[in-house]
Structure 1
Amino acid sequence: MKKTTKQVLALSVLATAALALAQGNAFLTIGSGSTTGVYFPVATGMAKLINDANSGVRANARSTGGSVFNVNALATGELDAALVQNDITYYAYKGTGLPAFEGKANAKLRVMAMLYPEVLHLVALKDSKISSVADLKGKRVVIGDLGSGTEQTAKQVLEAYGVTVEDLGQALRVSPAQGISLMQDKRADALFFTGGLGASVIAQIAQTLPVSLVPVAGNQAASLIKKYPFYVRYNIPGGQYKGVGATVPSVAVQATLVTTTGVSEDTVYKAMKAVFDNETALKAIHPSLASNFTLAKAVKGLPAPLHAGAVKYFKEKGLNVK
């Protein structure tokens, strides 16, 4: 019987875990996101750096539904570490902000490092007559996979423009890969995606369709940032995606590498050294890391406390952390 990609990935995780246990190594399953997003190649690259270090820690990256899924899976022990939007990390740690977290604060969440900006992309078909977020009323819109950070960002951006999910002609909660297909088949008019600059999901759509990027700017962006201070303004440079020549104003959150107190200080410390000591190899993983990551930025604006293993690592690097 032919195995699906998810089955192959699951078997790979089990095989790596079994090998780690047999060799007496600690093991980290790192949750990422869709295979067409930025989280997956970043998590995969980090896992490779950990494994190549031969420090007694083995790792494997796992494709998931995204940020909300990841923090819930950290709480159950299904994941040992994960890439998560900083706003979602904060909400989960405090038990607030989203219905999924209300009254369920996860005080065991810990940050390993802040990584790079995750830009809100709103891409629309050029013939859809969508030039503003307000124009999404009555349209078929991909708002992100159920349980993804994109879904939460989409709702908050819509809110800033006085639009609700119910105002949409159709709210499509699908994976980025499915979103690409819906756009290409003209069964969706627009798509939200929160991820690193140059995300393949946006690049693929722009390569195959005449599209535009819809701005998030002005008073609406200001009100969004005031209500949800995790956001910052971010300009998507012209030429980043095919057919989009002008700079487009938008907003961004931050990608965060998160774990829990259930993972030992020694394991996190060794993983940190493997990933962050070789900054050249780290930045080669993805352009989002190459253009944004520094050790100094890695400890700024933390949405939850640093893990003890991360504290040990950053102190060795001369940073004032606790």
Structure 2
Amino acid sequence: MKRSLFKVLIVVLLIFLPVILHQTYRWMTALPKQITIAAGHPEGRYHGMAVQLKAMLEQRLPVDVKILETKGSLENLELLRRGKVDLGFYQPGTEYALAAQKAVKQAQPKLAVRPADQVCFIANLYSQVLHIIVPADSDIKSVGDLKGRRVAIGDQGSGDLAASLPLLRHLQLNLDQIEPAYLSYQEVEEQFGEKTLDAAIVTVGIEAPVLHELLETGNYRILEIPFTGALTRKASHFSEYEIPAGMFRTQEPIVPANNLQTVACGAHLLTRESLPDPLIAEVTAIILHQNFSRQMRLNELFAAGNEFAQDNQGFPLHSGADHIYNPELKPFLNSDFVEGTEGIRSFFVSMLIAAYLLFRWVQKRRSKAKEHRLDRYIRQLVDIEKKQMEVDGNNQDDGPALQRLLDDVTNLRQGTLEQFSAHELNEDRATDAFLEMCHALSDKINAKLLGWKIDRMGEKISKL
């Protein structure tokens, strides 16, 4: 009865196991109710893409998206590491470039990354081009004329500042040789208008509003950066870039007047490893969709697609993004599901094994504690053996007694065999021992009985 009940419980558990695993999977892959995007300055291009991404995500998923204004790439990265935001835009090389600047290093102490929730890469969005902008009527004709001038090099913790520092080192200009101004884009425009700023180093996408607002007026021009090949060797996150003539203004004065050599770096969208794969997969699909790149004027992403999106990662690729980039490699089971249910599966299997071993142990203890089914027959066999020991076969009346004992052994053996099935006889070693004892005792009695018969025959012969 108890064994049958145990089997029924096992069957019930196996029936409900898929339901338990399904509910666990839904819990592990459930989308958060709200996510936050670190978007940089309101006047920057990061912010505009964050607004568009928010609109498309809220349209596709039951998720509220919050946009957080920040000072730039370094703050975005630190917020991701703290777990304060879920998505963030980042200019590669920012952390490394700003680590050498004492003031920034003190203001933004490096945080330990939690091994279980590291920062991951989603996509490279566009090229951020380095521009050195000066007023059109300025006497600054080349980068060498920046010495002693008031130059905006980007806000503290921004990608602009991270790009300006290696550029100044490449130009062999120390911060002591210029008057650095740590300004936002809006402050750059205001101080250019007030004529209190001589130049600005701005690293943004070629379609950034701040560039067009300044350069389309014809009141500003761009300086060419010399030896760009050497600069890309010194700062590996940079690549050579050419701004075509007339990019910002095609009427006189043309801006730029000729093809202009400069450098550029990527613009990455990052996330945290702990975010569920379905959410990041949806974000990646939106980024790679041509409607998004067309609306946001991401021409490089629109033209090159996946190849450009995966360029120069710098961080491990999030598994949700990898499902979109490599759909043919997508595992049969979702990685979040496998990871989330691993502990439950191990626990469940361990409990089954433990229950089975406990059941077998209890069963053996009980079988040892209670009398074996053969015990009664063995005692009867021992009694018969004791009786045959009392009959030596030498007396006249020993023959019938030995025959009765032999019949008793035969009847006992037959009665025992009737109580056991063929399977039990094959499995239970005790039955083998019992049968061997019966055979041995029968042989003893037969030997005595044979001796008794020989004696009787000898007596008859001697009388003849």
Normalising by structure 2, we get a TM-score of 0.57
> 1:249, 1:44 → 2: CA distance?
32
Q: Which residue of 1 aligns with 2:213?
A: 204
- The alpha-carbon distance between structure 1 residues 291 and 281, as it changes in their structure 2 partners (threshold 3 A), is closer
One-letter code of the match for 2:210?
V
Q: How many Å apart are 1:273 and its aligned residue? A: 2.9
Alignment of 1:192-231 (within 5 A): 192-208=201-217, 210-218=219-227, 221-231=228-238
Q: Deviations over 1:54-110 (max 9, x none)?
A: x23332333321111111111222221111112236x49xx9666637864646111
1:154 aligns with 2:164: yes
Q: How many Å apart are 1:280 and its aligned residue? A: 2.1
Alignment of 1:3-42 (within 5 A): 25-42=32-49
1:247 aligns with 2:256: no
Identity of aligned residues (%): 24
Relative to structure 2, which stretch is displaced further, 141-150 or 57-66? 57-66
> 1:239, 1:188 → 2: CA distance?
25
Q: Which residue of 2 aligns with 1:15?
A: none
Q: Which residue of 2 aligns with 1:61?
A: 67
Q: Deviations over 1:173-223 (max 9, x none)?
A: 0111111111111110111111110221121122446211011132xx222
Q: How many Å apart are 1:46 and its aligned residue? A: 1.5
> 2:300, 2:56 → 1: CA distance?
14
Select the residue among 299, 308, 317 that pairs with 1:306.
Answer: 317
Relative to structure 2, which stretch is displaced further, 158-167 or 206-215? 206-215
> Is the CA contact (8 Å cut-off) linking 2:132 and 2:201 kept in structure 1?
yes
Select the residue among 103, 112, 116 that pairs with 2:122.
Answer: 112
Task: Count matched residues.
Answer: 289
Q: Which residue of 1 aligns with 2:87?
A: 81
Q: Deviations over 1:104-159 (max 9, x none)?
A: 46461110111111100110112322222221111111111111010111111011
> 1:267, 1:77 → 2: CA distance?
16
Q: How many Å apart are 1:24 and its aligned residue? A: 7.4
> 2:297, 2:67 → 1: CA distance?
15
> 1:207, 1:133 → 2: CA distance?
22
Q: How many Å apart are 1:228 and its aligned residue? A: 1.1
Q: Structure 1: give runs of 5+ residues left out of the alignment.
A: 1-22
> 1:301, 1:35 → 2: CA distance?
26
- The alpha-carbon distance between structure 1 residues 182 and 29, as it changes in their structure 2 partners (threshold 3 A), is same
Q: Secondary structure at the match of 2:154?
A: coil
> 1:236, 1:113 → 2: CA distance?
23
Q: Secondary structure at the match of 2:162?
A: helix
> 1:288, 1:120 → 2: CA distance?
17
Q: Which residue of 2 aligns with 1:297?
A: 308
Q: Secondary structure at the match of 1:187?
A: coil
> 1:36, 1:305 → 2: CA distance?
30
Structure number with greater CO (CA < 8 Å, separation at least 6) is: 1
Normalising by structure 1, we get a TM-score of 0.81
> Is the CA contact (8 Å cut-off) linking 2:143 and 2:223 kept in structure 1?
yes
Q: How many Å apart are 1:238 and its aligned residue? A: 1.5
> 1:264, 1:235 → 2: CA distance?
39
Question: Max radius of gyration: which structure?
Answer: 2
Q: Structure 2: give runs of 5+ residues left out of the alignment.
A: 1-29, 331-464
Q: Deviations over 1:213-250 (max 9, x none)?
A: 011132xx222211211100111112122341322111
Alignment of 1:161-176 (within 5 A): 161-168=171-178, 170-176=179-185
1:50 aligns with 2:57: yes
> Is the CA contact (8 Å cut-off) linking 2:293 and 2:299 kept in structure 1?
no
> 2:122, 2:328 → 1: CA distance?
14
Q: Secondary structure at the match of 1:128?
A: coil
Could you list the runs of 4 or more consecutive aligned residues of structure 1 that deviate by over 6 angstroms after TM superposition? 95-98
Cα RMSD after superposing both structures: 2.6
> 2:285, 2:261 → 1: CA distance?
36
> Is the CA contact (8 Å cut-off) linking 1:96 and 1:105 kept in structure 2?
no
Q: Higher helix fraction: Structure 1 or Structure 2? A: 2
Q: Which residue of 2 aligns with 1:187?
A: 196
> Is the CA contact (8 Å cut-off) linking 1:265 and 1:309 kept in structure 2?
yes
Q: Secondary structure at the match of 1:312?
A: helix
> 1:314, 1:274 → 2: CA distance?
12
